[in-house]
Amino acid sequence: MEVLETISKFQINDRVMGYAPLGAGHINTTFLVKTKSTKWYVLQKINDVVFNNVNHLMKNIYRTTDFLKSKGYETLEVVKTKDNKLFYQDESGSYRLYLYIDNVVCYEGVNDLDMVYDVAKAFGLLHKSLCEFDASSLYEIIPNFHNTKYRYEQLLQAIKENKSNRVKDCLEEIEFFKKHEDNFSTIVDGIERGEIRLAVTHNDPKINNVLFDRESGNTRAVIDLDTVMPGSYLYDYGDALRSLFTGEYEDSKDLSKVGVDYPVFETYTKGYLSEMKGVLNEKEISLLPFAIYLISAELAMRFLSDFINGDVYFKTTYSEHNLVRARTQIKLASDIYEHLPQLNKIVEKCYKIS
């Protein structure tokens, strides 16, 4: 790709001075585009292996960010191409341009509990701001992304096919899923019965997708909206805590540090409920801790299925990498499952004081 040539396809009025790689994202290729004025831009090559319908993806982003802006919420701002399209495409790939959100910092991990609270509030505010948006009108960018029941069927299929002859290496892990299989439909069935809201969700609620103001330290915007689609708030809440709990140990063989971090759990729950208390229903509140268990089990299934299938989805650097990752998530899921009564009590307390 010729970056300057690609930039010239978009509606930029100022003179472009140059560009440089930006951030440490794993999915897209991102550049900061500097101009002569104070208005800078972010050019991204969209990963079209992960996202095979860029048109749908950009429509979802455009519609939701437009809605957020109308509510006065700082968010990504799509800059269209000269022929008024949401993205530019040529034989080298698909590209989009955003306005650069300046004076911000992005973190790979949390430094303290204040930061946990702020991140939780940022994701809570995103959910709340979009709660009146008709989720069913959005495209499902990755079908069945958080459909744990479907993910379990995929695991059973992988076991049956045993393509890489690896089933013999993970019998204990498979046993975990067999024991827990009655739990995997809870959220999906709840959505189907109308007990759990089908909502607009982010689906990658990690700390490095939140931008903080460089001066005040306050959160400014939630970014990386590629996977914004219909889902349940429960999966986003659960996934955010799951990633905070595993932190740097997601790929580690050392399972001793993996488990519930109570101060992080309580602080995140308080921050999230400070925005979402009036939006979540009783059923959803009662399932908050369960959702962390379920999403951890779901990710464990995804890693294990990929291990059994011969490492075709997640990037791996050694042959047992996906198995090691699955074990971490199984350990976390088991730990949460054992402590559900305590965790539910903490949620009740947070709910009362929020």
Judged by the rule CB under 6 A, the positions of this chain that interact with ligand GN1 are 26-27, 50, 204, 250, 299
Q: Which is nearer to ligand ADP, 76 or 188 (CB)?
A: 76
Establish if 224 lies at the interface with Mg ion (CB under 5 A): yes
Q: Which amino acid is at 308?
A: I
Q: Is 303 helix (H, G, I), strand (E, B) or coil?
A: helix
Alpha helix (H) residue ranges in 204-287: 233-246, 262-276, 282-286
CA–CA gap between residue 259 and residue 203 (Å, rounded): 22
Establish if 93 lies at the interface with Mg ion (CB under 5 A): no
Q: Closest approach of Cβ 47 to ligand ADP, in Å?
A: 7
**Which one of ligand GN1, ligand ADP, Mg ion, none is in contact with 76 (Cβ closer than 5 to 8 A by kind)?**
ligand ADP
Rule CB under 5 A: choose which of 25, 190, 247, 310 binds Mg ion. 25
**Which one of ligand GN1, Mg ion, ligand ADP, none is in contact with 236 (Cβ closer than 5 to 8 A by kind)?**
none
Stretch near Mg ion under the rule CB under 5 A, chosen from 60-68, 171-179, 221-229, 310-318: 221-229
**Which one of ligand GN1, ligand ADP, Mg ion, none is in contact with 42 (Cβ closer than 5 to 8 A by kind)?**
ligand ADP
**Which one of ligand ADP, ligand GN1, Mg ion, none is in contact with 28 (Cβ closer than 5 to 8 A by kind)?**
ligand ADP
Q: Which is nearer to ligand ADP, 23 or 93 (CB)?
A: 23
CA–CA gap between residue 342 and residue 337 (Å, rounded): 10
CA–CA gap between residue 63 and residue 53 (Å, rounded): 16
DSSP state of 15: P
Q: Which is nearer to ligand ADP, 223 or 333 (CB)?
A: 223
**Six token digits for residue 11:** 């509606």
Distance (Å) of CA 291 to CA 117, 154, 166, 239, 350: 19, 20, 29, 8, 17
Residue nearest to ligand GN1 (CB): 26
Question: Considering only CA atoms, which of 34, 61, 8, 31 is closest in space to residue 224?
Answer: 61
CB 96 within 8 Å of CB 30:
no
Which residues pair with residue 89 across a beta bridge?
A: 94
Q: Closest approach of Cβ 119 to Mg ion, in Å?
A: 14
